[in-house]
Amino acid sequence: MTVWTVLLASVLCNAGHCMTVQLRDRMTDQASSIPDVYCQIVLENLAMIRVDPSRMPYFSDRQT
């Protein structure tokens, strides 16, 4: 009975480990993609202005 109790406790203690690693990796990927998105928006705005200088560029940053 103690073997099963130890085994069950071990499984329960390690259950969140896999999800923690996945969430950390996903958060890192998202954080590194934000500058890429900003860069893409700026490049699109520059191309838009080049084609039609009378148009206004659009850019929105939630933090500012």
Annotated domain spans of the chain: 31-59
Q: Between 24 and 60, where is the model more confident? A: 24
How much is the pLDDT for 23?
A: 78
Report whether pLDDT(4) > 80: yes
Rama region for 52: left / alpha / beta (φ>0; ψ in -120 to 50; rest): beta
* pTM of the full structure: 0.46
